[in-house]
Chains A and B, each alone.
Chain A
Amino acid sequence: MRTKKRMDFLLLGFVLLVLTPGLMFSAGVKQSAPTGKASGPVEVVFWHSSSGLAGEAMTNLVGRFNTTIGTEQNIVVKEVFQGKAADVATKLRASLQAERPQDLPDLAQLDATGVMDVRDSTYLVTISSLAGMDPAYDLSRLEPGALLSITYKGQLIGMPFNASTIVFYYNKDAFEEVGLDPDKPPRTLSELASYAGKLLKKSADGKTVLRYGFAGVPTTYELVSWIGQQNGVSYLTDKANGHDGNPTRVVFDTEGTMARFLSEWRRVWQSGGLGNLTADVRQEFAAGRVAMYAASTSGLSTLLSSVGDRFKVGVGYLPRVDEASKGGVNIGGGALFAFANGNDLGKSATWEFLKFLMNAQSQFEWHKSTGYFPVNLDTYGLPEFKVHLQENPLFEVAINQLRDSDPRVQSVWWPNSYQAYYEIQNRIIEMLEKNASVDQTVESLAAVLNKYMADFNRMNKE
């Protein structure tokens, strides 16, 4: 009896083992259906990194394309959420390295760090070339700063879809509480220093900070604006922040821009109101434990929903380094990149979808649910957009700040962006907490960043 049972068990195991290879090697759904035939619809595979509110907005846009233009022109866009922007970049890099273009999507959403992974790839199909094949399409109706932000060696390599800038957030109730005008956010870093000192709140015994005036440790993201806005327009590195080719060295040391910024930043620290926080700053702000911080406009919708009616949120221009720094802020965020993957030859279906995403109405919807800028200038002329701005004046501040900025202020494309991110933070903290001199800090920062670039260029000759 028992032996029989055992034999059954064995048999089952054996059958399972024999069956598995077939099961295991078959993909669940065939991804790239053969195209080119007139019969089935052309499938456009679109990898994106929008989750939460932005993810819902993305799903709505794709759905609307598929039921309208897609149905007319026999195109089906298949959206695939691929994790955070960094995950999309990692997956792309992996496919590119394995030289398996068939694993690439038709379209992918990447942020500034991901640009490094694709900009020199032979599989990249530039937007310049796609737009060139469609003479009816007018690229000049798109935000010039946004286009420049994704231009590499004179070519538009991606479509600036989710464009954002840094903006200044403050707690209006806290301003009133300490006698500051809630409609006048600080204009310069020296004003920021004095505001931060006033807004600082400590427990009775003076040991615990109940509220920081300002929180954050500047790094690449803040510095491209705070360095970029000086002397007309400035860059962190040569080759225009890497937009004209691989950067070889920093220029913030010889141009004196970093020293200028650091001396102003030390004053903010000396006010006592600066919290060197790097995590959960938005959450701390929403909880009322940080009175001012600087972050992307893209967080505005989310911020407002998490603050609720606890206090009034104010939005202002990013404080300038000093009165003379008039360059404003750069456009960051993300862009869409097209790839030659053997599917949708000529990328005409992909281009149709791109045009849909960039049209005035789509850009309006995207802006409304995320806080990213409308990149299409025609969006600003839509009557419903004007109504929307009246109802949400905070968005207008961000748009005005963008209008007042020099479009040549650019994000930086350099290798080792993760390392640079930490190096800048660490050396600023060292300067503040261990009281190192400004010159020393600039020098050591330049040395380490230059070494990263030299190492990279040695391994990757253009």
Chain B
Amino acid sequence: MMNRRFAFDTAKLIVATVIGLVVVFPLYYIFAGAFYKIGEFTAYPPTLFPDSFQLGNFIRALRDTLLIRFMGNSLLVASVGSVLRMTIAVLCAFPMAFLRFKGKNLLFFLVLGTMMLPSDALIIENYLTISRLGLVDTYFAIISIYLLAPVQMFMLRQAFKTIPQTYREAAAIDGCGDFRFLTLIVLPMAKPIVLTLTLQSFVTIWNTYLWPLLVTNDPAMRTVQVGITMLGFAESLDYGPTFAAIALILLPSLSIFLIFRKKIVEGIAAGAIVG
């Protein structure tokens, strides 16, 4: 009995590891490719491990673009953007979960409904709005269309709903208003999910491409995603500098996931949609 179970678990582990390795293979390839010389990309059969850890590609990537500046921009935009985005989502999720008022469902659908409006389709109209407000080349322009996160609002509401209503009543008796109840009790209790969703927002904003490309004209205002397309070397099969740049910009987001993995898993668990 014990043995069969052990064998089953081992089989599961092996399958999981194989799948896991396949899944991270593209990531491995990016980091390996960052060290390839041009010949290693065009070699047949394809190279799987770099000849040497030469840094030429990194040097070219850093020299040909303002990669450090781009990373700084992305860092600023993604961190401030994700905090603002979470603030707005929390403000919506709180009354949805705790307060009773007329038109609650309507407001819920008004906010959630934005999830079905294709942002790609609205991009030119949104550009016109930003442009007419004279906000081209500002950090606000880059985050503007990401301020609303209906899916995250939905998940927060689910998480808030697990907090018993009685807490609120007890808090009210202690003279604690709704806003203080939210900041002093609800948020600390929902910390894992709030943290996770903030991180997810961070990555989302860090990763956007078309919109920042459109609303920034000044190279000093660009984000990393726009930056990597500047290395047009891929045309000549010389993916090296491009891969080096991708590897560099991957480092921050990868570290976040590696460092906060446990917290992220807990956080998602807290917001899990299980009725």
A residues near B, CB below 8 A? 3, 6, 10, 13, 16-17, 20-21, 23-29, 31, 47, 51-56, 80-84, 87, 90-91, 94-95, 97-98, 100, 103, 105, 283, 286-287, 302, 305-306, 308
Contact = CB atoms under 8 A, between A and B. Distances in A.
Contacts of B143: 24
A6 B140 CA distance: 28
Nearest to B219: A80
A81 B232 CA distance: 11
Contacts of A24: 80, 138-140, 143
Contacts of A47: 217
B42 interface: yes
Given A16-B80, A53-B236, A94-B127, A100 B230 contact: no
B136 interface: yes
Contact of A305 (B80, B188, B236): B236
Given A10-B183, A27-B138, A287-B42, A81 B219 contact: yes
A87 B80 CA distance: 27
A105 B213 contact: no
B226 interface: yes
B210 to A, nearest CB: 9
Interface size bucket, B side?
Answer: 35 or more
A103 B131 contact: yes
B99 interface: no
Contacts, number: 114
B236 A306 contact: yes
B237 A286 contact: yes
Interface in B130-183: 131-132, 134-140, 143, 183
A306 B42 contact: yes
Given A29-B218, A103-B131, A286 B226 contact: no
Given A23-B139, A28-B73, A83-B229, A56 B64 contact: yes
Q: Which secondary structure characterizes the binding site on chain B? A: helix
A17 B64 CA distance: 35
Interface string B35-58: 000110010100000000000000
A50 B183 CA distance: 51
B19 interface: no
B87 interface: yes
5 contacts: A13-B83, A23-B76, A97-B124, A286-B42, A302-B235
A309 B73 CA distance: 42
Nearest to B76: A23
Nearest to B80: A20
A29 B221 contact: yes
B131 A6 contact: no
A286 B184 CA distance: 65
Nearest to A302: B236
B138 A26 contact: yes
Contacts of B230: 51, 55, 81, 83
A400 B143 CA distance: 52
Interface string B60-103: 00001000000001001000100110010000000000000000
B111 interface: no
A100 B131 contact: yes
Contact of A52 (B44, B213, B221, B233): B233
Nearest to A280: B237
A95 to B, nearest CB: 7
B256 interface: no
Q: Which secondary structure characterizes the binding site on chain A? A: helix
B128 interface: yes
A283 B139 CA distance: 39
Contacts of B59: none
Contact of B231 (A51, A84, A287): A51
Nearest to A93: B124
Contacts of B190: none
Contact of A27 (B84, B137, B226): B137
Sort A-B residue pairs by CB-CB distance and give the 10 closest, nearest first: A51-B232, A98-B131, A52-B232, A24-B140, A302-B236, A29-B220, A28-B220, A27-B137, A306-B237, A24-B139
A238 B110 CA distance: 51
B112 interface: no
Contacts of B140: 21, 24-25
Nearest to A95: B131
A31 B184 contact: no
Contacts of B44: 287
A6 B42 contact: no
Contacts of A94: 124, 127-128, 131, 214
B131 A28 contact: no
A91 B184 contact: no
B218 A80 contact: yes
Contacts of B137: 27-28, 31
Contacts of B188: 6
B235 A52 contact: yes
B40 to A, nearest CB: 12
B73 A98 contact: no
Chain A CB within 10 A, most for which of B183, B217, B229: B217
Nearest to A55: B232
A308 B39 contact: yes
Contacts of B138: 24-27
Interface string B227-255: 00111110111100000000000000000
B143 to A, nearest CB: 7
